């Protein structure tokens, strides 16, 4: 009935008396509105979607926790879309759109293609990127070039000259931070007059065991590095496992710096570049909610700070470099 709807939504004037009557009836019948019907007539789903790659990645989970904390305080529900493989990533965007299942979309650590963005804009889907960048979409990011520079520069300042970079695949089109941090790494080397050595840059799929393998490979070089910059803390853990297995002392014989500051890096005492993962989820979700109520005239960019956290895998006093 129309009047009931007016009472529930309070848009137009309803007399105090009828409001009471309606509310009493609602209470008595234990009535609550059917969401599907409301969604159909309002044309809104009251759901926001989070598109995340590799839901097993601790940094992604941490960001998501930030998102959840914001969603919880809003009127919206959160649907999780786990993108398991990069190849199928684009089909996800399309799928989410055509099913008209969400009012807004959060893409975490996934760079959309231009076609994706075109589709999103054609569908007028409010979208915010977290840890990814596209000129036409609002985003929450860090300066990964600066981060790569900061880490490498720190190792250089400790006296290291043979510095390796262990990372995901550079050519992954959906993971730009890998390239950005690599750029920073190269910049810091160049600035210090240290030539880039290709054998010091190893790439592999993300994860502890792949990183461990890469570390093994580095240790077999005739001229092994004295310091490692790992693209992520997860990979730094893999590095640490290999050094432990081979009896290489850290930080005495090898310095190690990671990236992200996930919880594990804290209790493993890994020196790292901290990016506020949790805060990025919060900001991203807040930005999305805001975008949904009043779309900004042009894409916003929120730049979160990076901070070097010195722990026990680097020794600030006694560098042991060659």
Q: Residue 322, exposed/middle/buried by CB under 10 A (0-12, 13-18, 19+)?
A: exposed
Selection from 212, 207, 210, 258 nearest residue 233 by Cα:
258
- Per residue in 301-313, is it b (16+ CB within 10 Å) or e — as a string? ebebebebeebeb
202 C-beta neighbours (distance < 10 Å), count = 18
Distance separating alpha carbons of residues 311 and 236, to the nearest angstrom: 13
Q: Which is nearer to DNA, 32 or 75 (CB)?
A: 32
CB 144 within 8 A of CB 177: yes
| Residue 78 contact among DNA, a second copy, none, beta carbon within 5 to 8 Å by kind | a second copy
Q: Which is nearer to a second copy, 32 or 293 (CB)?
A: 32
Q: Which is nearer to a second copy, 43 or 222 (CB)?
A: 43
CB of 99 to a second copy, least distance (A): 5
Three-class SS state of 47: strand
Range 27-46, binding DNA (CB under 7 A): 31-34, 36-38, 40-43
Alpha carbons within 13 A on the beta-carbon side of 130:
32
| Residue 197 contact among DNA, a second copy, none, beta carbon within 5 to 8 Å by kind | none
Q: Is residue 74 near DNA by the rule CB under 7 A? A: no
Return the range that interacts with DNA (CB under 7 A); candidates 15-23, 89-97, 264-272, 299-307: 15-23
DSSP string computed for 137-167:
SEEEE--HHHHHHHHHHHHHHTT---EEEEE
Distance separating alpha carbons of residues 148 and 164, to the nearest angstrom: 12
Q: Is residue 47 near DNA by the rule CB under 7 A? A: no
CB of 284 to a second copy, least distance (A): 16
Number of H helices, E strands in the chain: 12, 12
**Quick one: tokens of 85?**
């493989």
Q: Which is nearer to DNA, 36 or 317 (CB)?
A: 36
Site for a second copy, rule CB under 8 A: 32, 34-37, 39-40, 43, 45, 47, 55-56, 61, 65, 68-69, 72, 77-82, 84, 98-101, 208, 237, 240-241, 264, 267-268
Q: Is residue 101 near DNA by the rule CB under 7 A? A: no
Return the range that interacts with DNA (CB under 7 A); candidates 14-22, 113-121, 127-135, 166-174: 14-22
Selection from 103, 48, 104 nearest residue 80 by Cα:
48
CB of 39 to a second copy, least distance (A): 4
CB 269 within 8 A of CB 311: yes
| Residue 293 contact among DNA, a second copy, none, beta carbon within 5 to 8 Å by kind | none
| Residue 303 contact among DNA, a second copy, none, beta carbon within 5 to 8 Å by kind | none
Q: Which is nearer to a second copy, 128 or 240 (CB)?
A: 240
| Residue 302 contact among a second copy, DNA, none, beta carbon within 5 to 8 Å by kind | none
Q: Is residue 6 near DNA by the rule CB under 7 A? A: yes
* Chain residues that interact with DNA, rule: CB under 7 A: 1-6, 8-9, 11-15, 17-18, 31-34, 36-38, 40-43
């Amino acid at each position: 009935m129309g009047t009931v709807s007016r009472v529930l939504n309070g848009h137009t004037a309803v007399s105090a008396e009828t409001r009471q009557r309606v509310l009493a009836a609602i209470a008595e019948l234990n009535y609550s509105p059917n969401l599907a019907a409301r969604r159909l007539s309002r044309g809104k789903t009251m759901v926001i979607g989070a598109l995340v790659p590799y839901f097993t990645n601790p940094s992604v989970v941490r960001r998501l926790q930030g998102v959840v904390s914001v969603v919880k305080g809003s009127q919206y529900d959160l649907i999780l879309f786990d993108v398991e493989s990069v190849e199928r990533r684009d089909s996800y965007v399309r799928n989410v759109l055509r099913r008209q299942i969400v009012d807004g979309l959060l893409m975490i650590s996934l760079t959309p293609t231009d076609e994706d963005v075109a589709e999103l804009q054609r569908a007028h889907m409010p979208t915010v990127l977290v840890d990814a960048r596209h000129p036409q979409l609002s985003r929450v990011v860090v300066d990964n070039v600066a981060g790569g520079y900061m880490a490498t520069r720190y190792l250089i300042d400790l006296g290291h000259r043979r510095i390796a970079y262990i990372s995901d695949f550079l050519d992954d089109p959906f993971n730009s931070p890998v390239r950005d941090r690599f750029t920073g790494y190269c910049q810091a080397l160049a600035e210090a007059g240290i030539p880039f050595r290709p054998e010091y840059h190893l790439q592999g799929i993300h994860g502890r065991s792949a990183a461990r393998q890469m570390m093994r490979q580095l240790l077999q070089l005739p001229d092994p590095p004295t310091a490692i910059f790992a693209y992520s803390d997860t990979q730094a853990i893999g590095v640490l496992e290999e050094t432990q297995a081979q009896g290489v002392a850290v930080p005495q014989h090898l310095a190690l710096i990671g990236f992200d500051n996930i919880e594990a890096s804290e209790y493993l005492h890994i020196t790292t570049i901290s990016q506020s993962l949790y805060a990025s989820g919060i900001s991203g979700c807040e930005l999305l909610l805001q975008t949904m109520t009043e779309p900004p005239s042009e894409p916003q960019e929120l730049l979160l700070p990076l901070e070097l956290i010195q722990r026990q895998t680097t020794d600030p006093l006694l560098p042991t470099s060659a």
